[in-house]
Amino acid sequence: MNMKIIKFIALLLVFAGGFASCKNNDNIDMSEIGFSNIDSLYAQPLPVIQKCVEGKWKWFEICTCGFIGLRHLSNTVVDITKESVIITGDDGLNQTFQYSWKEYGTPYNYTTYVMWNKEKDTGKWYFDKIINDTLVVCTYDLNAGGSPDIYVFYKIKP
């Protein structure tokens, strides 16, 4: 039991230290950042988030209301450019939208940059983490269960 408490406290300290060290800074040395692995992408400055999410992704999974609504996608590609998102494939999710970035709070009580749909004037996605070129994306709007949907994208290598 004591070991579990120690591990939990250590995990909290690592999280708190990582969050505290990720303040916005205009003088970012982008050459020292591993863009394929950032556990707290949401806490990074906007240029880091932009660099991590731009490109082509295979949309692999949608998770709604926890693991109850897990849906695997077979052939959907998300192309994120500097100004737009183009979603194509045979999973019925085809769409294109122009976006900007806005800083907002999330349901998890932290502030991050939200990809904002310009046409609908609403938040679309924010980005939780990227691990081994796998991007974890959260919807800005909450689902019926009161939480964001979670999407998993895999980086398509050029």
Architecture of domain 32-155: Beta Barrel (2.40)
Residue 59: closest CA among 47, 76, 36: 76
Q: Give the pLDDT score at 95.
A: 93
Q: Residue 107: which pLDDT band, with cuts at 50, 70 and 90?
A: confident
Contact 129, 40 (CB under 8 A): yes
**How many helices and strands, by DSSP H and E, does the chain display?**
2, 8
Of the listed ranges 12-21, 22-31, 48-57, the least confidently predicted one is: 12-21
Token pair of 70 as six digits = 């897990």
Q: Residue 18: which pLDDT band, with cuts at 50, 70 and 90?
A: very low
| Residue spans per domain, the chain | 32-155
d(CA 42, CA 81): 19
Residue type, 56: K
Of the listed ranges 44-48, 70-74, 85-89, the least confidently predicted one is: 70-74
d(CA 155, CA 158): 9
Q: Which of 16-25, 108-117, 137-146 has the highest mean pLDDT?
A: 108-117
